[in-house]
Amino acid sequence: MNIQNVNQNFNHMVHAYKVAPWRIQRQWIGSAFGVVVVLAMVATLYLDVTSKAAIAGREIQDLTASITISQQVSADLQTEYATLTSSSVMKQRALELGFRPMKSREAEYLVVAGYTVPQPDILSSAPLPQLSVLSILPEYNESLLDWVDEQIALSSRGLR
């Protein structure tokens, strides 16, 4: 008897819980909260990707500037080296080291089989590394709004 009463009471409580109006409200609130969480996650992801893309872009700009500076430094050093090894400087250094210009009668020539006089070919014909335009997929540098715009434009072109 007592057991039956307990079962009935329990069933009544379950039924009352299922039909309680505040439960429906909480279901709505929960669903809305879920939507907000999903939107927040998308927004966070979007911000993260956008910021990373911006940082990468800024690094590209910095590296481009670094390349320019390096080229300037290289040109400066090349010119400085040429100045330090210029004809007049090298001649002065040679004289200071005790060398003197030779006379033609002092030259001794040996016939070396197979020797060929080197021809002036000072710069190789190998191509220099080329800095070509980077091919980055649009997914990596377009914003969400850009993507939405693109999709709308595509759909409108499809509708026509």
Among 1, 19, 97, 107, the residue binding another protein under the rule CB under 8 A is 107
89 and 83 in contact (C-beta within 8 Å)? yes
Find the shortest distance in angstroms from Cβ 1 to another protein.
38
Q: Which CB, 20 or 73, lies closer to another protein? A: 73
Locate 85 and state its tokens.
Answer: 């090894």
Contact positions with another protein (CB under 8 A) in 132-151: 132-134, 136, 141, 143
- 141 burial level (CB within 10 Å; 0-12, 13-18, 19+): middle
- With CB under 8 A as the contact rule, the residue among 19, 124, 139, 159 that binds another protein is 124
Residue from 36, 39, 43, 54 binding another protein (CB under 8 A): 54
Q: What would the x/- binding string for another protein be over residues 60 to 79, using CB under 8 A?
A: xx--x------xxx-xx-xx
- The region, left, alpha or beta by phi > 0 then psi within -120 to 50, assigned to residue 98 is left
Report the distance separating Cα 149 and Cα 138, nearest Å.
Answer: 13
Euclidean distance between CA atoms 49 and 55, whole angstroms: 10
CA angle 15, 16, 18 (to 5 degrees): 65
* Residue 82 in contact with another protein, rule: CB under 8 A: yes
The 8-class DSSP code of residue 20 comes to: -
- Residue 34 as a binder of another protein (CB under 8 A): the answer is no
Decide if residue 105 touches another protein (CB under 8 A): yes
Residues in contact with another protein by CB under 8 A are 50, 53-58, 60-61, 64, 71-73, 75-76, 78-83, 85-88, 91, 102-105, 107, 109, 111, 113, 117, 120-128, 130-134, 136, 141, 143
